[in-house]
Structure 1
Amino acid sequence: MKITINKRDLSAFQFSDELKQKIVDTCEVVQQKKDEVALRQGEKVVRIPLYLSGESILTHYNIEKDKKYTICRVGRGETCPTSLSSILTNQCSPVTGIAVQDAIKVIVPTRHVLEWQSIYPTWSKFLIKTITLGYTSVLEKFHQNMSKTVEERILEFFSNGDFTEIRSIRMTHQELASEIGTSRVVVSRVLKNLERSGLIKLRRGKIMLKVAG
């Protein structure tokens, strides 16, 4: 079923009214289901998504280390910084994009991504902001991995989820390892220690977390 939108649906983006109308008139709107892959690492990038709702994670697989790393998350009012970079540099995607929530996205093809830079100042500002925030996110990940222990990174990841009572987090040890940038073996060892400390309980495919409110 075709999804239609109007300018109000683009309220999360600081675009001019003229640009919003152009997007409504010329761009396709798609729905992405949770766990659906929108783009795979190594594929040619021919469009960027504007997220109206939902969220995706961008992961990079390192062949030499046989590890998968979470680069960043993309949600409402944002686009994928790596897809934008790939279009601007004419390179293939360095990441795989997977929906962690059902998402509705506006699809902007390459020709519009490039043409609108010289036509709409608000579009140009959006692209610059996206690249800058993407770069900052990578630096923060690097700093976190260099300065914090795995236990600290795991606890910080849990606390960022705003848990205030016992909750069931559906996440495998490998998925958690990808989020914080380490190996599954290390994550499993640390989680066992946290379980012995009474902070969590481990179940198959999920983690029961208790954080004081």
Structure 2
Amino acid sequence: MSKETLQGLKSVPYFSEVPDTALAELASCAAIKSYPKNSIIIREGEEGGALFIILSGKVQAYLSSANGRMVILSTQGAGSFFGELSLLDGEPRSASIAALEPTICSLILRLALKTWLKSHPDAASSIIRSLTQRIRSLTENVRGLALSDVYGRLVKTLYDMAVENENEWIIREKPTHQDLANIIGCSREMVSRIMKDLERGGYLSVERKFILIRRKLPASW
């Protein structure tokens, strides 16, 4: 059994209330797999069957269309997880996952989880609570897309990426304008125009490796 896998399981909200002894049994069923940078780990629409726990590296979840458009759903690092929906309902993958850097994951197959749940039925209640929290989070994301304009969605995304540092906020891993456009569902040109206007207004500065929000961004633009 990998200690990294056990620690990874502890970080998954599904299993937050499960005793270590029970988690150790599940961890013993896991396999470790490495993925090179830019590789596709999961493709939208393919058959599901495993829960992935990120032990190291970073991945991006996204949706894509036939004409090449992309919407970024999330970026996740070590201690996070993905693939849980197909693991539980047996339906095809709902999104694609790509490795943004060399990534190592621990995989737990659906059959192993089902067998484990028969021995630990109390864990099901923890899974249900975690799914409920994810649904609430998804509802808030949909609310933002439906009720906010492009500027409002961009501001929310910038603050979500930033960490507060005294009276300023810093985004340490600078996203490209295309990344931001893919997240909020607009054109790269529109993001570039808003970002440039905010720079000119002294609200933020874009450095080589990070973005610094110098003062509170306006509510509207």
Report the Cα distance in structure 1 between the residues aligned to 2:203 and 2:36, rounded to whole angstroms: 32
Aligned to 1:90: 90
Report the Cα distance in structure 2 between the residues aligned to 1:84 and 1:24, rounded to whole angstroms: 16
Aligned to 2:63: 60
In structure 2, the CA distance between the partners of 1:129 and 1:104, relative to structure 1 (3 Å rule), is farther
- How far does residue 38 in structure 1 lie from its aligned partner after superposition? 2.0
- How far does residue 48 in structure 1 lie from its aligned partner after superposition? 0.8
Task: Identify unmatched segments of 5+ residues in structure 2.
Answer: 217-221
Asked if 1:171 is matched to 2:169, the reply is no
Contact 2:53 2:81 in 1 (8 A): yes
Give the total of aligned pairs. 207
- How far does residue 139 in structure 1 lie from its aligned partner after superposition? 1.3
Aligned AA (1:211)? R
Task: Identify unmatched segments of 5+ residues in structure 1.
Answer: none
Question: SS where residue 121 of structure 1 aligns?
Answer: coil
Contact 1:163 1:211 in 2 (8 A): no
Asked if 1:42 is matched to 2:45, the reply is yes
TM-score w.r.t. the length of structure 2 is 0.73
Question: SS where residue 136 of structure 1 aligns?
Answer: helix
In structure 2, the CA distance between the partners of 1:77 and 1:132, relative to structure 1 (3 Å rule), is farther
- How far does residue 110 in structure 1 lie from its aligned partner after superposition? 1.8
Aligned to 1:113: 113
1:13-162 mapped onto 2 (5 Å cutoff): 13-14=15-16, 15-32=18-35, 35-52=38-55, 55-63=58-66, 66-74=68-76, 78-80=80-82, 83-99=83-99, 104-160=104-160, 161-162=162-163
Aligned to 2:219: none
Report the Cα distance in structure 1 between the residues aligned to 2:122 and 2:181, rounded to whole angstroms: 37
Aligned AA (1:117)? L
Report the Cα distance in structure 1 between the residues aligned to 2:187 and 2:210, rounded to whole angstroms: 17
Contact 2:26 2:112 in 1 (8 A): no
In structure 2, the CA distance between the partners of 1:133 and 1:51, relative to structure 1 (3 Å rule), is farther
Contact 1:16 1:122 in 2 (8 A): no
TM-score w.r.t. the length of structure 1 is 0.75
Question: SS where residue 131 of structure 1 aligns?
Answer: helix
Render the CA deviation track for 1:83-115: whole Å, top value 9, x for unaligned.
322233333212111345765532101211333
- CA RMSD, 1 decimal: 3.4
184-193 vs 171-180, which moves further: 184-193
188-197 vs 99-108, which moves further: 99-108
